[in-house]
Amino acid sequence: MDTANDARVLVLEDALKRLNDVVSGRRLKVHVEYGKLVEALKIAGSLLYEVKYSYIDASALAVLEATKNLVAAIDGFADIYNAAVESVGFKPKTAKEQLVLAEVDYTLRIVKGIPTRLAEHNEDPAYAIDILAVEVSQAHPVENSKNLLSCRCTDGSRIWHIVTNIPDVKPGVKLACAVLPPVEMMNAVSEAMFLGGEALPETIGLGPLANPPDSALDQARAQVMQITKRMM
């Protein structure tokens, strides 16, 4: 497998770069041992090089020692970060602070899920990120925007805040979404993106979407390709 150009590996590389930017810019608004975070990221960066240029099959890459150790290094980062946040009960006061937390959460999710994405999915870029079924619980207009809605959603295990320009999104509807790098729009942070406005069947369970509609895959693929272009 061409691991150097595999979308799953490139998305992983992009996510680690985002986390490095957060730490190097000291954008975490909590007292944290930055030295230990930097060390964890250095270890992860070194291991990423080994992963990216291993040129082995995806199934083998999923259990490669370098892959396991990379995940372990970022698990260590997460332990330090979560302890700092929980120790003071930190809650973001601004959209920028919320965006930083969302960026960290996004990277931790991408790293934690890389073994599964390598072991269980093919090289289709659409599967380089998580595609979920979520249910909308709240939807309201974004202040000062013309056509944006801020939606509170659940995947059955956590809450997601998704900003969309899809009209008529209402509570109770189930939609497919892709977990992508978070963005701030009109002072509202979006942690994922709806993959179209077509409602999923009511019988679909919440959480990872095993068989996304083709239209959802097309949109997810396009978004991932935008990420991988930046990394090539």
How many C-beta atoms surround the C-beta of residue 133 within 10 A?
22
d(CA 224, CA 164): 18
Q: State the pLDDT at residue 135.
A: 98
Domains and CATH numbers, the chain: 3-121 (1.20.1440.150), 127-231 (2.40.50.140)
| Residue 152 Cα to chain centre, angstroms | 17
Q: State the pLDDT at residue 88.
A: 86
The tens digit of pLDDT for each residue in 94-148 reads 999 999 999 999 999 999 999 999 999 999 999 999 999 999 999 999 999 989 9
pLDDT band at 231 (very low <50, low <70, confident <90, very high): confident
How many C-beta atoms surround the C-beta of residue 66 within 10 A?
16
Q: Give Dmax (Cα) for the chain.
A: 50
Task: Check whether 82 has a pLDDT greater than 80.
Answer: yes
Q: Which amino acid is at 141?
A: P
Task: Check whether 200 has a pLDDT greater than 90.
Answer: yes
Question: Residue 43 burial by CB count (10 A; 0-12/13-18/19+): exposed, middle or buried?
Answer: middle
What is the chain written as a DSSP string?
--GGG-HHHHHHHHHHHHHHHHHHTT---S---HHHHHHHHHHHHHHHHHHHT----HHHHHT-HHHHHHHHHHHHHHHHHHHHHHHHT----SHHHHHHHHHHHHHHHHHHHHHHHHHHS-S-GGGGS-EEEEEEEEEEEPTT-SS-EEEEEE-SSSEEEEEE--TT--TT-EEEEE----EEETTEEESSEES-SPPPPTTPPSEE-SS--HHHHHHHHHHHHHHHHHH-
Do the Cβ atoms of 153 and 162 come closer than 8 Å?
yes
Average pLDDT, the chain: 96
Task: Check whether 5 has a pLDDT greater than 90.
Answer: yes
Region 51-55: mean pLDDT is: 98
